[in-house]
Amino acid sequence: MTYENFFARVKELAPNCRTEAISRWRDFAAESVDSMQCVHFNSPADKAAAVERWLDVLYSGLETVLKKCGPEFASFMVDLGLERCFLYSGEMTQGATGFEKNENGRQVLDKTESAETSCPAVSQSDAEGRRTVQERPKALKKRSGRGKER
For the stretch 28-46, pLDDT in tens is 999 988 887 766 556 667 8
Distance (Å, rounded) from C-alpha 27 to C-alpha 66? 22
For the stretch 94-103, pLDDT in tens is 777 777 777 7
Distance (Å, rounded) from C-alpha 143 to C-alpha 105? 21
Whole-prediction pTM: 0.69
For residue 22, what are the CA distances in angstroms to 15, 49, 52, 96, 140? 11, 18, 14, 17, 25
Cβ contact 37:85 at 8 Å: no
Q: What are the backbone dihedrals phi and psi of residue 91, each rounded to the nearest 5 degrees, phi first?
A: -100, -10
Residue 23 has pLDDT above 80, yes or no: yes
